Amino acid sequence: MTDTPRTLRAGMVGMGMIFDETYRPCFERLHAEGLYDRRYGEVSVPLTAVASRTGKRADVYQKSSQGRIAPFANFSGEDAVAKLLESDVDFVCVATPDDRHFEACRQVLEAGKHLIVEKPSVLSLSQLDELAQLAKAKGVLAKVV
């Protein structure tokens, strides 16, 4: 175990129903309680950046969170994912509509970031093969939840 605090900075692509049902409660609990790993001790997992089409839901969430989560960068528009990837995130969760998963996941992996994507991960086996090869080439994890 180490005395150095560990931090894994999270990015989120998509702020819809899956965020509300799954990721929001997870990030709020991580903000309140942190995470503990026997090998490393306490690990902080803040949501540090969000990318979405309009940014409106992220704005509303931040304004109404009442301390349940720390402030995060909110990127919107056509280049939102690229801006998120330029920020200091260690891993990215993708929860967009299914037909947008592949492009967002490809960008995340090309940037050398670890990836968590909701199911179905992509819409074709060839897309899945491409992402698996890209993750291996970049030395990052790509997981489907």
> For residue 109, what pLDDT is reported?
99
* Mean pLDDT computed over 4-16: 92
- Domain limits, the chain: 6-144
Closest CA to 143 of 112, 111, 118: 118
- For the domain covering 6-144, report its CATH number: 3.40.50.720
Which residues make Cβ contacts (< 8 Å) with residue 81, sequence separation at least 6?
A: 13, 51, 75, 104, 107, 108
Whether residue 3 is predicted with pLDDT greater than 80 in this model: the reply is no
Give me the sign of the Cα torsion angle 14, 15, 19, 23.
positive
114 CB neighbour count, 10 Å cutoff: 21
DSSP letters spanning 87-104: SS-SEEEE-S-GGGHHHH
Q: Tell how strand 41-44 and strand 35-37 pair up.
A: antiparallel
Task: Tell if the pTM clears 0.85, that is, is over it.
Answer: yes
Q: Give the least confident one: 1-15, 20-34, 105-119.
A: 1-15
